[in-house]
Amino acid sequence: MSGYLNKCEFIGRLGTDPEYRDTQKGGYIVIFRLVLLESWKDKKTGECKERKEWIPVVIWNQVIAHTACSLLKKGSYVYISGRMQTRRWQDKSGNNCYTTEIVLQQFDGNLQILDIEDKIK
């Protein structure tokens, strides 16, 4: 055992429709952005404030990916469990860029649709 744990859990709404993408190795992934909303009351003004966090999600698990594409759309309310992973890529100018995402791998990760009743009507 390594003594480390890389697990992230979120409840939020899809900020984008799930997008199906083919991989170079012949498989496919599904990506979307999860929106987390934090709200509070400003102590000085009493005004309600909000902040949104946009979390990129990448699904490699084929069963979960199929479910996401079939049943989810922008605004769907979900629970996501996966690993945090940072990948490096290059932009059009050749600059190194980094993106941190929540990844649901082939044999781990979880997606639960919390507003499933709305999907089966």
| Architecture category of domain 8-114 in CATH | Beta Barrel (2.40)
What is the full per-residue pLDDT of the chain (121 aa) written as tens digits? 678 999 999 999 999 999 999 988 888 999 999 999 999 999 999 999 999 999 999 999 999 999 999 999 999 999 999 999 999 989 999 999 999 999 999 888 999 999 977 666 6
Whether the pTM exceeds 0.95: the reply is no
The tokens for 98 are: 């980094």
pLDDT of residue 116: 79
49, 42 contact by CB (below 8 A): yes
Q: Where are the domains of the chain?
A: 8-114
pLDDT of residue 119: 60
CA distances from 53 to 30, 38, 60, 68, 118 (A): 20, 8, 22, 20, 24
pLDDT of residue 44: 92
Residue 17 is classified by DSSP as -
* C-alpha to C-alpha distance for 38 and 25, rounded to whole angstroms: 38
Strand partners, 80: 10, 111
45, 81 contact by CB (below 8 A): no
Residue 118 burial (C-beta neighbours within 10 Å; 0-12, 13-18, 19+)? exposed
* C-alpha to C-alpha distance for 110 and 22, rounded to whole angstroms: 21
